[in-house]
Amino acid sequence: MSEPARTTRRLSLTAVAASLAASLAAACSPLSLFATLAPRDPALRSARGLAYGAQPHQRLDVYAPRRGAGQAALPVAVFFFGGSWDTGRRQDYGWVGQALAAKGFLTLVPDYGLYPQIRYPDFLTDGALAVRWAEQHAAEYGGDPRRIVLVGHSAGAYNAAMVALDRRYLTAVGADPGHIKAWGGLSGPYDFLPLTDPVAIRTFGEARDLPATQPTAFVSARSPPAFLATGDRDTLVYPKNTIKLAARYRAAGVEVEERHYPGLDHVNMVLALSRTLRNRAPVLQEMTDFLHAHAD
């Protein structure tokens, strides 16, 4: 093939790729597009769309590391995505499931009920039911149901915090709070009273006991250890939330690792878990090191 022909072919392929990307962008959200095109870690999606409850939205996907037969049971990670409690779907976070699985966790990524169909505290009940599913079924996929960690970003970090700290949600669905060995929260809202933000007012404004909506209210000496991280450029959920919850942990004498990553904003905190943007901050490595230290 001549050089002009090769050049024409390269330009043609570039045009096709650009057209495909434009079509995907028109049909998908930016996160869906990222989930479709971003390279992923070497892990397996073991199952998809499994029911953890009776409602249509109560479904989860399972991700597992590539490993040989006969290996020891894995600790289990349950990842809760963010989205202001009104957006998000598990299919757009398969790359997080694979990232955590590649770090040695059997990973569950559940959907949960969203506003306006669901309001506080029902999405926390969904989180507790997903943990109960892990207790009952993780062993079928190579996981240890007695060694569970929770991970969340943004609204999902709030969900992880409340399920980990307020033991009533797990006990109400018949799950054992003692199986939660640690949890990791990325850019989570943990202390946001009085309600001034429209999202918070909409989601929590009907709560009869507003102080009971705050994760900082439930830290005690028996709380599971926490990895709490935020970006210093986060202007959506301010770092003061992480600072306050970490201070409550230290006051209770419970281990907490508090991380503030320079240059990261709210969205880039979770994107730093991806292979594409992992070089921006060691969020994945530091968080999974902490979680393994308490779950292994």
What phi and psi values does residue 55 have, to the nearest 5 degrees?
Answer: -80, 150
Q: Each residue of 236-245: pLDDT tens digit?
A: 999 999 999 9
Q: How confident is the model at residue 46 (pLDDT cuts 50, 70, 90)?
A: confident
Q: Summarize the confidence of residues 49-78 as an average pLDDT.
A: 91
What is the model's pLDDT at position 138? 97
pTM: 0.89
Q: Indicate the SS3 state at residue 2.
A: coil
Domain ranges of the chain: 1-29, 38-295
Topology of domain 38-295 in CATH is: Rossmann fold (3.40.50)
User: 66 or 109, which is more confident?
Assistant: 109
Asked if 202 and 252 count as a contact pair (C-beta separation under 8 A), the reply is: no
pLDDT at 9 over 50: no
Q: Which of 80, 91, 94 is nearest to 155 (CA)?
A: 80
The continuous run of DSSP H or E covering 46 comes out as strand 43-51
Of the chain, the percentage scoring pLDDT greater than 90 comes to: 82
Q: Each residue of 169-191: pLDDT tens digit?
A: 999 999 999 999 999 999 999 99
Q: Each residue of 80-104: pLDDT tens digit?
A: 999 999 999 999 999 999 999 999 9
pLDDT at 203 over 80: yes
Produce one character per residue of 54-80: b if its CB has 16 or more CB atoms within 10 Å, e if not: ebebbbbbbbbbeeeeeeeebbbbbbb
Q: Which of 171, 165, 188, 177 is nearest to 84 (CA)?
A: 188
Summary mean pLDDT of the chain:
91
DSSP state, 167?
Answer: T
